[in-house]
Structure 1
Amino acid sequence: MKSTHEESEIDLLVADRRVAADGVVALTLRHPAGEELPAWEPGAHVDLILTEDLTRQYSLCGDPADRSSWQIAVLQESDGRGGSAYVHDKLNPGTTVRVRGPRNHFPLEPADRYLFIAGGIGITPLLPMLEAATAAGAEWQLVYGGRTAASMAFVADLRAAHGDDRVVLRPQDEHGLLDLEALLGAPAGDTLVYCCGPGPLLDAVEERCSSWPSGALHTERFTPKEQGEPVLSGAFEVELAQSGLTLTVPPDRSILEVVEDAGVQVLSSCQEGTCGTCETAVLGGQVDHRDSLLTDEEKAANDTMFVCVSRAACPKLVLDL
């Protein structure tokens, strides 16, 4: 049995590789036979299936109108879990890599004005958003921070395309941390804020935007948010509507693990609530949302969940599996 999630997987050729900054490589991926790649919109990411046990998500940072190739950029992380090391060590021009997606949990909503805030490699999903905002005639500003100027990818491209008025560069060794109070201290009713970067930056931006209108802030995280204790400390049941099974989920196991052990396949990847691969429709019950993707409004709707991390806030959930 399979879940309701069907996504294409294709083997793509690494057509080009260049150094985008210190520790960052940019890869261009193409279909070996020259076929068009699936369409995508700004904010989308793809899964790179590097080995049987190693799948990682990377934002698409090229031009959505170019169906002949996809671009990603990958930061080499010395204390990472192996994905970035694999990309840097093994993905060279001429090699192939299996790719799944694209998928978008960070879409660009229409607005008259945008404030984009990037930290380090978090610039990648914002790049196509800048082009889309420009094409839509919206006003925008990008504030882009990084450890050093040399570590900040795509700086020359950004300056050439948009100039210094719209693109504010703030390497930390020269300017310190981003002045979020100056950027976000006064809520702007006609402005949407899009932020991607390391967890501490996102936490700080969320705190500053707590007084902004609901829905003004949009974030994407590479690492999961800190979560408190589950709503339920004990076991709960999940009824799988398609499969006709009712399963017990103990406190020390995820819904995903229990469901897969019962022979029901659910497409999954990150196992930490950041990629969105295992999204599952909720048909009944209340969810204890423990992901780093859904907005407060989406959580309140209680119609979807990520079964790798989220749990039940009631004795029984009914899922569309």
Structure 2
Amino acid sequence: MGVDTVVVQSLLPTASQPSPSTVTLEVRSKHVVADGVVSLTLAHPDGVRLPDWTPGAHIDVVLPDGTARQYSLCGDRWDPYSYRIAVLRVPEGRGGSAYVHDQLALGARVGVGGPRNHFPLVPAERYLFIAGGIGITPLLSMLRQAQMTGADWQLLYGGRSRASMAFREELTECHGRRVQVAPQDECGLLDLAAWLSEPAPGTKVYCCGPAPLLAAVERACVGWPPYSLRTERFTAAAADPVRRAPFQVELRRSGQTVTVTRETSVLQAVRQAGVEVLSSCEQGSCGTCLTPVLEGTPDHRDSVLADHERAANDCMLPCVSRSRSARLVLDL
């Protein structure tokens, strides 16, 4: 797939963008919205106005046990006093979703950073939205924005079953025939060929969901005009490192050089040298630790940077990415 065919984006800050400060918000409501999915409404304890956000934005949520996770904002962006998120229980996960489902109670307070938007809705005449499971969350506000601006749009929404598909009734009640709900147990896999077989100039395709869905959509969009597709991933794509031998990382601002072994990430090596780098997911999917690269060639292993951003080699995510060259120089 050529670099001008698909733009893949996920939770991406710019290299110069400072990380937002964290504020304490209170859980005002908690509702089950599908099998294995709860919706939370967060607000400031003192009723303070919250930072504005745009469709596709997410927040960092620091739970009372110290766990930090990222969740897409899926509420009313014109409500200045509350944020809504939805959390899928992940049985094989690292414990954050289980804590939200089982322990996080009404009135509990959580730290919130952001919002940040690395999956923005760009202007277009027409949109095709494709969601898989909890991937519907960043698209909800995009649908409202497209509706508000008068753009033509359609949504293809898949999931394991109707009962597992969050906000399904809300979508069909509000948008009717623009929304096609296709549960896998009733319809099989999403019919991407029917939706994407004919390239459509002036149309942007937005997709969020599990990795197999994203891969299938990327294949289906190969013949589309450049930059027609934008996706957001939940986790970084697995990839073997290009360089297996140790390499050196110079921290230009701190004047130190560290050695990164096969068993150590760049982020770990930097922290062991006493240089703090803000991070969150440490899986290459949130973009919090994005770091400028001054010299050398990174081995990009994240699911955040678009193809053209990787080709520039002027930034990397040190939590998962490594080095193609024997030496990297980072602006740390």
Q: TM-score range by the shorter chain?
A: over 0.9
Does 2:179 correspond to 1:167? yes
Tell me which of 194, 209, 217 is aligned to 2:221: 209
Q: How far apart, CA to CA, are the structure 2 residues paired with 1:189 and 1:251?
A: 45
Does the Cα contact within 8 Å between 1:238 and 1:317 map onto a contact in 2?
Answer: yes
- SS of the aligned residue for 1:35 comes to coil
- SS of the aligned residue for 1:124 comes to helix
Q: Which runs of 5+ in 1 are unaligned?
A: none
Residue 51 of structure 1 deviates from its aligned partner by 4.8
- SS of the aligned residue for 1:210 comes to coil
Q: How far apart, CA to CA, are the structure 1 residues paired with 2:64 and 2:275?
A: 22
Residue 4 of structure 1 deviates from its aligned partner by 7.7
Q: 1:303 to 1:137 in 2, by over 3 A?
A: farther
Residue 12 of structure 1 deviates from its aligned partner by 0.8
Residue 35 of structure 1 deviates from its aligned partner by 0.8
Q: 1:271 to 1:29 in 2, by over 3 A?
A: same
2:288 alignment partner AA: T
Does the Cα contact within 8 Å between 1:278 and 1:307 map onto a contact in 2?
Answer: yes
Cross-structure match for 2:289: 278
Cross-structure match for 2:206: 194
List per-residue Cα deviations over 1:33-77 (Å, max 9, x = no partner): 111112221111112212555221111101222220100001112
Q: 1:145 to 1:61 in 2, by over 3 A?
A: same
Tell me which of 119, 139, 151 is aligned to 2:164: 151
- SS of the aligned residue for 2:63 comes to strand
Cross-structure match for 1:120: 133
Higher relative contact order (CA 8 A, sep 6+): 2
Cross-structure match for 1:258: 269
Tell me which of 248, 252, 276 is aligned to 1:237: 248
Does the Cα contact within 8 Å between 2:19 and 2:288 map onto a contact in 1?
Answer: no
Residue 166 of structure 1 deviates from its aligned partner by 0.8
Cross-structure match for 2:310: 299
Does 2:84 correspond to 1:71? yes
Aligned counterparts, 1:215-230, within 5 A: 215-227=227-239, 229-230=240-241
Residue 202 of structure 1 deviates from its aligned partner by 1.1
Does the Cα contact within 8 Å between 1:5 and 1:267 map onto a contact in 2?
Answer: no
Q: How far apart, CA to CA, are the structure 2 residues paired with 1:18 and 1:169?
A: 22
The count of aligned residue pairs is 317
Residue 212 of structure 1 deviates from its aligned partner by 2.0
Q: How far apart, CA to CA, are the structure 2 residues paired with 1:192 and 1:225?
A: 23
Does 2:71 correspond to 1:61? no
2:143 alignment partner AA: L
Q: 1:263 to 1:300 in 2, by over 3 A?
A: same
Cross-structure match for 1:177: 189
Does the Cα contact within 8 Å between 2:236 and 2:301 map onto a contact in 1?
Answer: no
- SS of the aligned residue for 1:85 comes to helix
Computed over aligned residues only, the root mean square deviation of the Cα atoms, in angstroms, reads: 1.6
Runs of 4+ in structure 1 off by over 4 angstroms are: none
Higher mean alpha-carbon deviation, 180-189 vs 167-176, is at: 180-189
Q: How far apart, CA to CA, are the structure 1 residues paired with 2:206 and 2:17?
A: 30
- SS of the aligned residue for 2:221 comes to helix
Percent of aligned pairs with the same amino acid: 59
TM-score calculated relative to the size of structure 1? 0.94
- SS of the aligned residue for 2:231 comes to strand
Residue 115 of structure 1 deviates from its aligned partner by 0.7
Residue 79 of structure 1 deviates from its aligned partner by 2.3
